């Protein structure tokens, strides 16, 4: 019986020691908010309802230059989301438009390119495509990039590749 009390006392002493050491030294971690100036993101209505059709917008945010072309691949969970239609913004991207949708694997590829009509190009937030989706069940799921987006930006008379990010997008169906 003495061995049990001795072991419990030693265990209690170790726990008190760890508690004292962990509170004695503060971990200083700098938390900073990073705002990406080149980002591809989704914009949705406030509430997404399961079993109803909803339109979400695929947008690109950038500061300098005008967006000329893009190629975006993303994945989703086909058990939770059904993509009914993907429509590329043909007002801006009128030369080459391609949409590939694999509903079994949950993959989508969207390509848009502008012709030589540069007067249609805009800066800032640009609508790339509109997706019609339907939530198949209640709950959360993710839409995430399967590879880095390729985006062409017109700066002056030269087209350069922009360093765009596409963060994971959480979808919550009510």
Helix residue ranges, H only, 1-89: 2-24
pLDDT bin (cut points 50, 70, 90) of residue 35 is low
CATH number of 39-173: 2.60.40.680
* 156-165 confidence digits (pLDDT tens): 788 888 888 8
Residue 34: predicted pLDDT: 53
The three-state secondary structure class of 119 is helix
By the 10 Å C-beta count (0-12 exposed, 13-18 middle, 19+ buried), 40 is classed as buried
* 53-83 confidence digits (pLDDT tens): 999 999 998 888 888 889 999 999 999 999 9
pLDDT bin (cut points 50, 70, 90) of residue 25 is low
Number of H-type helices and E-type strands within the chain: 1, 11
Using an 8 Å Cβ cutoff, are 69 and 114 in contact? yes
Q: Which residues pair with 172 in a beta bridge?
A: 140
The three-state secondary structure class of 169 is strand
Instruction: Give me the residue label for tokens 């017109």.
Output: 154
| Interval 10-31 mean pLDDT | 78
pLDDT bin (cut points 50, 70, 90) of residue 120 is low
Domain residue ranges of the chain, discontinuous segments joined by +: 39-173
């Amino acid at each position: 019986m003495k061995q049990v009390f001795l072991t419990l006392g030693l265990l209690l002493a170790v726990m008190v020691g760890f508690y004292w050491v962990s509170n004695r030294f503060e971990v200083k971690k700098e938390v900073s908010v990073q705002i990406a100036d080149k980002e591809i993101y989704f914009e949705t209505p406030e509430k997404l309802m399961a079993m109803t059709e909803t339109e979400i917008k695929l947008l690109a945010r950038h500061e300098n230059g005008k967006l000329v072309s893009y190629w975006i691949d993303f994945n989703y969970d086909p058990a939770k989301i059904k993509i009914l239609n993907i429509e590329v913004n043909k007002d801006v991207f009128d030369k080459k438009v391609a949409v590939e949708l694999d509903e079994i694997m949950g993959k989508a590829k969207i390509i848009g390119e502008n012709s030589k009509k540069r007067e249609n190009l805009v800066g800032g937030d640009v609508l790339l495509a509109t997706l019609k989706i339907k939530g198949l069940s209640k709950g959360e799921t993710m839409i995430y990039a399967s590879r880095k987006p390729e985006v062409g930006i017109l700066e002056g008379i030269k087209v350069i590749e922009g360093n765009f990010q596409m963060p994971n997008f959480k979808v919550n169906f009510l």
